[in-house]
Structure 1
């Protein structure tokens, strides 16, 4: 018998949420066949069978959170399915228990699909095993899901709701109120007296998956780190002009050139001059860890929540290389295809909310890092230059820092250095290594 335990599939992972159980008790599995889908710290991981055999026991259920090292299921690596049926004790295999499992496919094969498509199927409340794939090797695609959902809605729209409507929730609340007040009208099913509510309609949703991990991480960060935020403004006219000159060259390489690569290069230069901002604190040993590598996290908005993919060794990459990697990581994040390698090891984080808007914010530090910078919207403002009023393209930036390690003076000097490099791009390129 082989006990299959939850492995540590990520850096410092302590627990995972069981998203989907892909096998049933008594089912034969092949080595490397997917057994479970697990939600780790911000990514989905598919766990495969270590051996060929038969599933004897399943100890977990979908939606359950388990710790690393917990036994998830037991695989008999030496038995056969028919022998198994005769050897199982009666108290395990009973008619009452067998009805809980849906019948397996005749061919016992699982639908092929990417984690992103499987996640989309769950959101659409669809059983992906019923969808016929049209992709390579019969793989189920996003378009297959949408066509399948469309056919279901046309054939029996009342039987396949995707979400509860406000009327359905109101009906449920009404039924509870009727039972509590003993108001019954047996001759009329459509007439229901609704108890008045001062709070209105409330929908309860489980806090799980990525949103749960984000919540836990945020609470940990603000609990451990004394946050202080410094806000400054930045003149963007020269950087805008430089970007316009470089865009045709980027377009020839099919690269989307934004302002973010320039910020990363300026940030790395400033971090080398102020190393305490590229550090962390070991709370167990009370030591400061100064890091001589520069892995920059890019906060990215996805349908599932905020994810921070990391650009490794940003100091060794060109503006175009950074732009290309930013675009690639953002696409993988939106598609749910990031791996643990993509989201771990960061030393400093940038949150770029400028394209959305906002003048300033107090970003929460991505623990165990000690600082984070937030970029805000760019707009024309009336400013004073050499005692004269002029219009300039301006942007605010907010730096939150760990006051245990970084003093306010150091933080302001750090942002002043970033401003100096970005307001004069010629200086930025002269300082690049």
Structure 2
């Protein structure tokens, strides 16, 4: 048999590395040409890579959760006598065989279903000489202990617990690797919080007129097959206000220390999925009617939840809106979608006392929380933008150019 070192292929679009999120094969498995071998997540998409030829898996070079560079050997195959390993080495098929699609379930989630398999005893468990001596005195086999420490070392507490039959805290814990989309979310959130100087401006919005307008337009939207929520009104109000406050539609180039003013209005709409929070992007919001915007948001959000959203629909946002809907709570402080400079949090509409014409009455009130990057945006600049958005939402008829 000939040996083939299979390297992580270039899946295009400038991708330089990929995270191993699931292996479909194990050492010793036989594979046919194009059988799925590994699932890899890049910063563009999740891809499945097939076998370049028929053979047997000799070695797997990266564990789940590890990051491999394009061109690094990730797996070694022993090809069948009738296979052509030289052709497989020359083949440009791996990129084409990699099917890029965002999944609606964290890739590799099958690894976590059900109880984890029992750890196989190792020939020489990690332990200090003192712990080994204690285990010998108590007649405990270190190989039968599942260590709780991340470095795999067995502790004296675990040895004594094994000797008395007691269960250690590790027996009541379950470890799951943070991989796939969840790992990408964690890294982006951490980068945003450690890069931008977050501050949040909060104000009330009397949404009574907005509630009435939506109730009036909803039946017309239904007849067109469109579900009209409050979100399109809010996204459109944001897009209408941004031209008057261009710094909120800008981004920071951290490498060159430059501010990039963007003269297009692509609004990201944070969407909860089973994989975690994703941000589909509605491009050129300022060119869409209210009903067109509602249909676009519904389509993108559903495709994100289904796991069928195209990678280009997750890129290019200039500002983000996040809404928790009925679960919006009283207040939250959204985290910026780096490298953007602003994100608007929308909270639940509640019946609250409001003052109109000097009289107290019951109104529909919601809180808006605007998080900004204080490195670039001063407090009064953010407040002026927020009040422009609120003024539009309190007079929402201006969002409807003509009666749909």
Matches within 5 A, 1:133-172: 162-163=114-115
CA distance in 1, matches of 2:50, 2:246: 42
The aligned counterpart of 1:95 is none
Kindly indicate whether the alpha-carbon contact (under 8 Å) linking 2:213 and 2:397 is maintained by their aligned counterparts in 1: no
The aligned counterpart of 1:315 is 286
User: Could you report, residue by residue, the CA deviation over 1:308-346 in whole angstroms, capped at 9, with x for unpaired residues?
Assistant: 111112112222222222222222222222332121111
Cα RMSD of the aligned pairs, angstroms, is: 4.0
Question: What's the TM-score once normalised by structure 1's chain length?
Answer: 0.70
The aligned counterpart of 2:42 is 40
User: Could you report, residue by residue, the CA deviation over 1:74-94 in whole angstroms, capped at 9, with x for unpaired residues?
Assistant: 899xx983246999xxxxxxx
CA distance in 2, matches of 1:182, 1:425: 67
Question: What's the TM-score once normalised by structure 2's chain length?
Answer: 0.74
Kindly indicate whether the alpha-carbon contact (under 8 Å) linking 1:21 and 1:61 is maintained by their aligned counterparts in 2: no
Structure 1 residues 238 and 177: alpha-carbon distance in aligned structure 2, compared to 1, 3 A threshold:
same
CA distance in 2, matches of 1:233, 1:227: 20
Structure with larger RCO (C-alpha < 8 A, sep 6+): 2
Greater mean alpha carbon deviation, residues 66-75 or residues 411-420:
66-75
SS at match of 1:355: helix
CA distance in 1, matches of 2:396, 2:158: 71
**1:418 CA drift (Å):** 0.5
CA distance in 1, matches of 2:79, 2:40: 28
Matches within 5 A, 1:15-414: 15-22=17-24, 27-30=31-34, 34-41=36-43, 43-47=45-49, 53-54=53-54, 60-61=61-62, 63-72=64-73, 81-83=80-82, 116=103, 119=105, 123=109, 162-163=114-115, 180-181=159-160, 193-194=165-166, 201-414=172-385
**1:416 CA drift (Å):** 0.7
**1:292 CA drift (Å):** 1.2
**1:19 CA drift (Å):** 2.4
Kindly indicate whether the alpha-carbon contact (under 8 Å) linking 1:28 and 1:81 is maintained by their aligned counterparts in 2: no
What 5-or-longer segments of structure 2 have no aligned partner? 87-98, 118-144, 149-154
Kindly indicate whether the alpha-carbon contact (under 8 Å) linking 2:206 and 2:364 is maintained by their aligned counterparts in 1: yes
CA distance in 2, matches of 1:179, 1:222: 38
The aligned counterpart of 1:155 is none
**1:407 CA drift (Å):** 1.2
Kindly indicate whether the alpha-carbon contact (under 8 Å) linking 1:256 and 1:327 is maintained by their aligned counterparts in 2: yes
CA distance in 2, matches of 1:336, 1:265: 26
Kindly indicate whether the alpha-carbon contact (under 8 Å) linking 1:362 and 1:400 is maintained by their aligned counterparts in 2: yes
**1:389 CA drift (Å):** 0.7
Kindly indicate whether the alpha-carbon contact (under 8 Å) linking 1:21 and 1:37 is maintained by their aligned counterparts in 2: yes
Kindly indicate whether the alpha-carbon contact (under 8 Å) linking 1:27 and 1:54 is maintained by their aligned counterparts in 2: yes
CA distance in 2, matches of 1:8, 1:86: 21
SS at match of 2:386: helix
SS at match of 1:250: helix
